[in-house]
Amino acid sequence: MPIATRYVLPVAFVLFLGLNFAFLTYTRPSALNSVITLNQQLPDSILNVHLSSDNVAEVAPIVFALVMFGASSATEGLLALKSALMHVSRPTEFHIICSQDAVPIIQEKLDLFSRPAYHVDVRFYPLSDDLIKARTTRAGVDTVYSAGLGGLVKVFIHELLYDVGKVIFYDTDMLFLVDPALLWREFDQMHDRQMIAFPTLGAESGSGEICTCVMLLNLKAMRTANFMPSTLFLASHTPSVSPPAWRATGIDPLKPQFGDQGLYWAVWKHRPEFFMHLGLSWDMTHCRYSYGLSLADGNDSMSEAEQIDHQFDTRTAPERFNQLFPGIVHFNCQPDFPVVWTEPKNAQRPRWGPFVTIAMQYKWVWLNRGLGDAHVVSQTVVRQEGEWWWDQISTSRTTPGAGRLSKRHATHPHHSH
């Protein structure tokens, strides 16, 4: 390029910008001001949302509840817990209802990471069989289902977590494949009186065609409705919604089919206004071959119409959108394995095998991916006798707290309660 041209072009460009500035100044001053002040008008929360460490503490947590009774259940549940932490984009709070022997199994893994991207708060509620049996007796319920008393606890989560407003409950044989925040926002679709959302196959579903393995639980609404009865409730208390439902549907509360699921089903069938359908995407169940969804089904250019055409066995599920996606994969219907991840076929099947392998082999220490402003805290809830369940404290003349916290484990400076 000639020397004269090399210098003329930059000078011409500067003159062009100057003329445009002068034109805006004298003909469109409002346009110029809007450009200059745009940055000033944007709130700091927008400008610095990815830079401010304070945002970690300001965002409300996603709250989960899990039930793990026995060492095998705890071992299985570790992968379910890890999968949520792998994908979550907000602080989390995990309420783990468990047997005493489950606590050290879970704690051992929590101790492996100390610098999460978002705060992780884990609370253990160790329950003895006697404590559970006393509450089920007051409710007039029992179970002969394989999940035992531990499984029956699922109808009393609202009573045990009586200082918690709402939770995502999910079973130990499930894996999140997406950000749990997508499931948490489904609470926005529920009205205040709706207590529960779970997947169904439509209005005619039997007790085996709903799934209490993943639920959105409005615990506050469940307490208001006295979801489960108790001999402690006075005549002045709001009558429980469950006994009339058991009678209307012919359910034997001492031998409900599928344990807790049979009890939930009866209320859903009798009082549907208290329930919301949760999309089948949140229960890609092995029992129904994930409704036709599979990693091995075609390539990544599949159209929405093609995906819908490949889906099957959804019956009359009232889906908001016809096309499903794998939000949670559910490895149920495999009773021969106390820890479902030890079934080698789950990691080998082309349907979801790669996801199982990733979840199993993803290192807990890789959850150290934060900036140092978030921590992992685990605590064991200790309550006095007579203060464990909502039916006890709601009929007591005293108003005790939610119980003290002990055995606090933290990866930042130690605190005690």
Domain 60-280+369-410 -> CATH class: alpha beta
Question: pLDDT tier at 45 (50, 70, 90 boundaries)?
Answer: very low
Does residue 7 have a pLDDT over 80? no
Question: pLDDT tier at 9 (50, 70, 90 boundaries)?
Answer: low
Average of pLDDT values for 110-133?
98
For residue range 287-345, list pLDDT tens digits in order. Answer: 999 999 999 998 899 999 999 999 999 999 999 999 999 999 999 999 889 999 999 99
User: What pLDDT score was predicted for residue 16?
Assistant: 57
Q: Which residues contact 379 (CB under 8 A, 6 or more apart)?
A: 121, 122, 123, 124, 405, 406, 407, 408, 409, 417
For residue range 330-345, list pLDDT tens digits in order. Answer: 999 998 899 999 999 9
User: What pLDDT score was predicted for residue 403?
Assistant: 59
Report the alpha-carbon distance of residue 99 to residue 69 in Å, rounded.
5
Report the alpha-carbon distance of residue 26 to residue 110 in Å, rounded.
64
Question: pLDDT tier at 39 (50, 70, 90 boundaries)?
Answer: very low
User: What pLDDT score was predicted for residue 335?
Assistant: 87
For residue range 199-229, list pLDDT tens digits in order. Answer: 999 999 999 999 999 999 999 999 999 999 9
Mean pLDDT value across the chain: 87
Q: Give residue for tokens 């100390």.
A: 114
- Residue scoring higher pLDDT (6 or 218): 218
User: What pLDDT score was predicted for residue 406?
Assistant: 58
Listed by start position, the domains of the chain span 60-280+369-410
Report the alpha-carbon distance of residue 91 to residue 374 in Å, rounded.
9
User: What pLDDT score was predicted for residue 235?
Assistant: 79
User: What pLDDT score was predicted for residue 416?
Assistant: 32
Can you read off the two tokens belonging to residue 6? Answer: 């090399």
Global confidence as pTM:
0.84
Report the alpha-carbon distance of residue 186 to residue 216 in Å, rounded.
8
- Residue 215: name the closest of 143, 140, 254, 158 by CA: 158
